[in-house]
Structure 1
Amino acid sequence: MHSIPIVYENDDICIINKPSGLAVQGGAGVISAVDTALSEQVGSKIYLVHRLDKDTAGLLITAKNPRAASLWTKLIASSAVQKEYYALCTGEFSQLEGTVSDPVVHKGSAKAAFTSFCAEKQCRIGQDAEHTSLTKQGRAACENVLLQGSTSLCFSLVRLRLGTGRMHQIRIHLAGRGNPIAGDDKYGDFKLNRFLSKKFGIKKLHLAAVCLRFSETCFSLADVPRIKAEGAHDKPFTIEIPLPDYMNKTLSLLEFAP
């Protein structure tokens, strides 16, 4: 496989841009995973401190020694590191900003979960709706689905911030409010996903971890640099990356890029 992109590295941590489709941890039936592939790449053992779904792309913090692994596991669990994502959802957000607080059930146990969202851009296609923001190809594809019984189709580009880190939390919360992520084959709209795959080439989950914000706690307990700002106090260290190419391709087709 190709090398895993390293975004930031010091003596204790290695922050990567995990590709979609790469599992974080190895196990039965897993051909390749971050914990083994990254260890081979950097030439020393890598320790996991948090997770991303296999199909979710983006920023992942790993540790390079047991002490750092213990520290960063605690920092992430205490929300000293704020994680932000972008998702391309289907359906309209009547409330552009808010928090989903529905509990997430895992292995029969309901856990508290909080996801803040901000729908930054939306596009509706259908009866009495403007669809000039779409390309000719995009309009034709969306109008075709209207002929199959739907009255309209809406895409929403949503920025999300995690208050908790439950398994599949974002995917469950968005699907639960009627805005499943495009390409989500576990919690999404399966009929619509087939259409999106055929007409737009959406074959991957359109969810990416794009930003990590490190609080003052990280500076006091760990080796994390500050970012200097002219005429202002030091501001928290932030790492932000672009969306993966396959999401940008979809957004470009919809003329929907952020």
Structure 2
Amino acid sequence: MKTIPIIYENNEILVINKPFGLSCQGGQGVVHSLDEDLSKELGYKIFLVHRLDKDTSGLMIVAKDSKSASKWTKLISSKQVKKEYNALCVGKINPVKGVIEEEIFQHGESKNAITKYEVIKSWQKDFIVDLNKTVLNFFQIKLELETGRMHQIRIHLSKMGCPIIGDDQHGNFKVNKIIKKELKIKQLMLSSIKITLPIDGVNREFSIDIPDYMKICSI
């Protein structure tokens, strides 16, 4: 069981740093999950108010009781909670800053989805594949969600032609294979690094650095 770092705590919520590879919620075939593992660590039941994908690491909120969970779920739905992500991507992206507004098909219907993005770093790496030189364009991208659809960032960046490295569902599978072999990367290169919360009438910002496995990729 992985220890789950706590970044902030008050009488209603915890801001935690979810590790890569940990599901938020237990279920069939899930050995470890955030809700169960953290509840065991703390000695009391915690309540999820939003989720991150299993393979996405970083900051998220959990509530200490059902009343607080209801309150913070509503705050998130009303967009009073701001979340910022960093992703490492490969491909092409133009323009380098903008807003992606493209519907995502979920649960049998199309839903509005809006993602703000900005390239904050770009670089190239050369690889030898089957005796031929292959040049890949890499980008570190800052992202903010206006909506919270499942896999929204992953889907939007893929449709822009710049999928997230290590994304085995929406990414470039051929390129992922090269990168995994040459750079020894196994993780999805996406992390929630900043969250801004309305606490006691003031917006409080909590942030972390990108995880070490993302730093290795960006060298």
What TM-score, normalized by structure 1, do the two folds share?
A: 0.81
Partner Cα distance (1:2, 1:208) in 2: 17
1:96 maps to 96
Partner Cα distance (2:42, 2:130) in 1: 51
Deviates more, 1:84-93 or 1:154-163: 84-93
Aligned ranges 1:102-121 → 2 under 5 Å: 102-121=102-121
Partner Cα distance (1:27, 1:242) in 2: 30
Partner Cα distance (1:146, 1:90) in 2: 20
Q: Which has the higher helix share?
A: 1
1:23 maps to 23
Q: Does 1:161 align with 2:144?
A: yes
Partner Cα distance (2:150, 2:98) in 1: 21
Aligned ranges 1:174-253 → 2 under 5 Å: 174-215=157-198, 218-220=199-201, 226=202, 236-251=203-218
Aligned ranges 1:18-57 → 2 under 5 Å: 18-57=18-57
Is the CA contact (8 Å cut-off) linking 1:92 and 1:122 kept in structure 2? no
Give 3-state SS (helix, strand or coil) of 2:200's partner: helix
Is the CA contact (8 Å cut-off) linking 2:46 and 2:62 kept in structure 1? yes
Q: How far is 1:248 from its partner?
A: 1.4
1:72 maps to 72
Deviates more, 1:59-68 or 1:85-94: 85-94
Partner Cα distance (2:93, 2:33) in 1: 35
Q: Radius of gyration: which is bigger?
A: 1
Q: How far is 1:40 from its partner?
A: 0.5
Is the CA contact (8 Å cut-off) linking 1:88 and 1:206 kept in structure 2? yes
Q: How far is 1:58 from its partner?
A: 0.2
Is the CA contact (8 Å cut-off) linking 2:118 and 2:141 kept in structure 1? yes
Q: How far is 1:145 from its partner?
A: 4.0
Is the CA contact (8 Å cut-off) linking 2:93 and 2:161 kept in structure 1? no
Q: What amino acid is the match of 2:172?
A: D
Q: How far is 1:94 from its partner?
A: 2.5
Give 3-state SS (helix, strand or coil) of 2:153's partner: helix
1:171 maps to 154
What TM-score, normalized by structure 2, do the two folds share?
A: 0.95
Partner Cα distance (2:86, 2:101) in 1: 18
Q: What amino acid is the match of 1:210?
A: I
Q: How far is 1:93 from its partner?
A: 2.2
Q: What amino acid is the match of 1:245?
A: D
Give 3-state SS (helix, strand or coil) of 1:85's partner: strand
Partner Cα distance (2:130, 2:181) in 1: 15
| Aligned CA-pair RMSD | 1.5
Partner Cα distance (1:30, 1:2) in 2: 14
Q: How far is 1:87 from its partner?
A: 0.1
Q: What amino acid is the match of 1:193?
A: N
Q: What amino acid is the match of 1:9?
A: E
Is the CA contact (8 Å cut-off) linking 1:117 and 1:160 kept in structure 2? yes
Q: How far is 1:54 from its partner?
A: 0.2
Q: What amino acid is the match of 2:207?
A: E
Percent identity over the alignment? Answer: 45
User: Any stretches of 5+ residues in structure 2 without a counterpart?
Assistant: none
Q: What amino acid is the match of 2:62?
A: T
Q: How far is 1:189 from its partner?
A: 0.7
Q: How far is 1:149 from its partner?
A: 7.1
